[in-house]
Structure 1
């Protein structure tokens, strides 16, 4: 077993990209690269980065991308950020809490990612201190501030601030807005969503109808630009986002995940091969299954057999909601009532639904939430706590999980669903699901 583990680790080490230069970013350990706004150079056709479970790969279907003067990689605002600041290739085009903590250490909190506008718990707090950026450093959460009530909408409920640890929902700080805290979604594999059967809805609350509107909002708000991006800048951003793919490509126990005769659902090359609106092939892991009556298969093959079992569980228990291209929103229980009351570092809101409308389908007319979710856009009582489901690729590179960063590990994700829906997974089933999720 030890020999097999060393062989797998050595194979991954050999394929690891560890060159660090002005063109490939700044290294934070083997393969951990932070891409700075405006650094220039090329993002290769395919690049690989280490993470705790193996390696994630980024694939540019259109070939290497020159980042000099490219609006995804250059700052268009006044705070030094670019799109890439919060959508790092080494973190599967999102950003992990671990990378943010390392970046804080290396720059003493001066990197643009920590800009006061949304990188701190509240802009009025003393900047440059870890405590003022605790939600970003510990849970990878950026502040999202949205107008309340929504423009052109008559809300079906009243919202009251019950707890406001950062002070951004009280007094002059609120400014007619509600502040919530969310993880950034991955800016990859997006053509499956944009061309998907349910239409584009990739923000946590579904507020942006297109990649164009999302890019405009991000540049004006998160980069604090004083003017709208040009049509050419928008074209280049969307062109990049709809041709870049991210997925785990190697596992410290499972070995290389993109082998020619391996499962057709793994690795960014396979994802890029899917038809419009779909990511690669179906989740079939038959080639990794353990034959009946087979003896011990060794570390790698036993792990792969576990992944195949996890795929079966996912297909029967999870895929009805987490299907490729899914962009629906729903309340899975991470933000409302019991979950909301247990996170003292996040705001807490009391929701009271109008007696003239139907009550919330699960919680009635009066309840609590950390994040009203879709309801901040629609104003509907039934939408409180509903969050747009996320794609599940590159998970090993971008912990923590859920929109509010409440699960620090994939095991915690599985445990949450097991409790929430009373599934009753066995210990082996839990581990099989974790192993499946970590190779996606």
Structure 2
């Protein structure tokens, strides 16, 4: 049985007391403190375990431990006291859970660099000492993302948007004032931070072109490699170098540019990280009885082909479909039932088909048809990972009416197509986040978002780019509402259990 190397207790944070209300390098936390502050100089071990509501998350660092003192991922190299690690916490699967942000607010009285006005508040113009000014981060784990408007450039070409954007509702004041909003030359949307791990898979490309749009893939001018489009929600940065530059300027408020040495050190660290759930509270270790859960499989494997052609997606848990009687006798009834549920969930994920309708990037413009019948693996098809090997963004309706849930705390925009109407929403429609359209300037791309990575889900609620689903069951419930799939209650629970061990 594999035991966790370390189990830092998230619930111990409030007990640290007033002495812990020190920020950045001034804080000297214990080695097992789940919060990594900028500049503290802790060593990042080769194996790092943290508990979550579903079990234990493990991050492996290939090549051995990394001293973080002086490392640009861990040092506050910008002007607001943050480091990259501030928003990409190891305990949260190298992302940031809303519960972690809320705990940090309580512990520091809102004085942590995490809550920097630039994007850790609903708008920099709000009173920064008030909790309500940071509600989107504290309750949904959302950061403010400011994009230029009109769209200035995409893939090196000038862009004239083929749609107009009007602010219908602006609850936070960041889309209608003199400094923030279309009149000031920018648009504010609110999104979850994407995990900084498992990049070997996120950068993998399964096609030489974008099959969702029928165009050739762009190439990274520095490496010459084709870009997967899986790094950022709106694909505004196609390579890790572009992503670093974007994050350093916008989130760290770095004055100037990262040096080549800083870029190389960050890239080296990020490419060595592999993260996945390692232990389940309900099922025990995820790499026993023939199963291959945990990040070691990710570290030791290569990005797979489409699940329908290569290794089936989530076949890591196929051995749990029929556990030998002698082995089953060693498990508690609860452990056995949970493991069998996970195996069923993988089958439902692969085999339960439903009609996918009115989803740009799937039903149009690529010609799969509307509707098209398929299963979850139609988009979540890469073996060992569950992201999409077919580059390009998809509109699942999570940010756009009528499919998105009503959300009064988010801005609402009216999109009006100047030329050809949107293939499914018509000429005029409403969205909380235009998504990919803020990168391309195309009305047909409004609402498209890059699919989320499925590894490490247990540690980083809430889910979807805008935090629409507060827990794993919320993911399943959204898809059920959106596509009328007809999941049974048992199938829903099996899918939840599967996602909890990824």
Same fold (TM over 0.5): yes
Q: Distance in 1 between matches of 2:26 and 2:268?
A: 21
Out of 172, 175, 181, the position equivalent to 2:190 is 181
Q: Which residue of 2 aligns with 1:230?
A: 259
- Quick one: structure 1 residues 40 and 348, their matched pair in 2 at CA, closer, same or farther if it must change by over 3 Å? same
SS at 1:159 equivalent: strand
- Quick one: structure 1 residues 24 and 247, their matched pair in 2 at CA, closer, same or farther if it must change by over 3 Å? farther
Q: Distance in 2 between matches of 1:338 and 1:90?
A: 35
Q: Does 1:375 align with 2:437?
A: yes
- Residue 27 of structure 1 and its aligned partner are, at CA, apart by 7.1
Q: Which residue of 1 aligns with 2:85?
A: 84
Q: Which residue of 2 aligns with 1:337?
A: 401
Q: Does 1:308 align with 2:343?
A: yes
Q: Is the 8 A contact 1:306 1:432 kept in 2?
A: yes
Moved more, 285-294 or 327-336: 285-294
Q: CA deviation digits over 1:111-152, x for unaligned, max 9?
A: 111000000000000001110000000000000000011112
Q: Which residue of 1 aligns with 2:150?
A: 149
Q: Does 1:17 align with 2:79?
A: no
Q: Is the 8 A contact 1:341 1:368 kept in 2?
A: no
Report the RMSD for the aligned CA atoms in angstroms: 2.7
Structure 2 gap ranges (5+) = 17-24, 153-157, 208-226, 352-374
- Residue 196 of structure 1 and its aligned partner are, at CA, apart by 2.8
- Residue 209 of structure 1 and its aligned partner are, at CA, apart by 1.5
- Quick one: structure 1 residues 272 and 346, their matched pair in 2 at CA, closer, same or farther if it must change by over 3 Å? same
Matches within 5 A, 1:140-219: 140-151=141-152, 152-172=158-178, 173-174=180-181, 175-198=184-207, 199-201=227-229, 202-219=231-248
Q: Does 1:221 align with 2:250?
A: yes
State TM-score, norm by structure 2.
Answer: 0.80
- Residue 276 of structure 1 and its aligned partner are, at CA, apart by 5.1
Q: Distance in 2 between matches of 1:263 and 1:25?
A: 39
Q: Distance in 2 between matches of 1:60 and 1:166?
A: 40
- Quick one: structure 1 residues 292 and 71, their matched pair in 2 at CA, closer, same or farther if it must change by over 3 Å? closer
- Quick one: structure 1 residues 66 and 277, their matched pair in 2 at CA, closer, same or farther if it must change by over 3 Å? farther
SS at 2:49 equivalent: strand
- Residue 23 of structure 1 and its aligned partner are, at CA, apart by 13
Q: Distance in 2 between matches of 1:363 and 1:195?
A: 32
Matches within 5 A, 1:415-426: 415-426=477-488
Q: Which residue of 2 aligns with 1:6?
A: none
SS at 1:262 equivalent: coil
- Residue 323 of structure 1 and its aligned partner are, at CA, apart by 2.0
- Quick one: structure 1 residues 275 and 13, their matched pair in 2 at CA, closer, same or farther if it must change by over 3 Å? closer
Q: Is the 8 A contact 1:310 1:433 kept in 2?
A: yes
- Residue 262 of structure 1 and its aligned partner are, at CA, apart by 3.1
Q: Is the 8 A contact 2:5 2:47 kept in 1?
A: no
Q: Does 1:288 align with 2:289?
A: no
Q: How many residues get paired?
A: 424
SS at 1:388 equivalent: coil
SS at 2:119 equivalent: helix
Out of 233, 248, 273, the position equivalent to 2:300 is 273
- Quick one: structure 1 residues 67 and 32, their matched pair in 2 at CA, closer, same or farther if it must change by over 3 Å? closer
Structure 1 gap ranges (5+) = 1-10
Q: Which residue of 2 aligns with 1:127?
A: 128
Q: Is the 8 A contact 2:283 2:335 kept in 1?
A: yes
State TM-score, norm by structure 1.
Answer: 0.91
